[in-house]
Amino acid sequence: MGIIKSSFSFTVGTVCGIYIAQNYNVPKLTKIAEAWLSDAKQVEEAYRKKNEKKDRE
């Protein structure tokens, strides 16, 4: 009884997620994550302190 009770919410969530993904226009999370990472890299490069030793070489 314990394994059925503990996996019930996981199973319901999986089934609901599959239904929503098939019937609604859900954006791909990988594209959103890649966009956020590229934006973060651009901000980091813009505000990064310059290393004088590295610039001399």
Confidence of residue 5 (pLDDT cuts 50, 70, 90): confident
Beta-carbon contacts of 20 under 8 Å, excluding residues fewer than 6 positions away, are: 26
Question: What is d(CA 38, CA 55) in angstroms, rounded to the nearest whole number?
Answer: 24
Residues 16-33: tens digit of each pLDDT:
999 999 999 988 888 899
Q: Is 0.85 surpassed by the pTM of this model?
A: no
Question: What is d(CA 12, CA 19) in angstroms, rounded to the nearest whole number?
Answer: 11
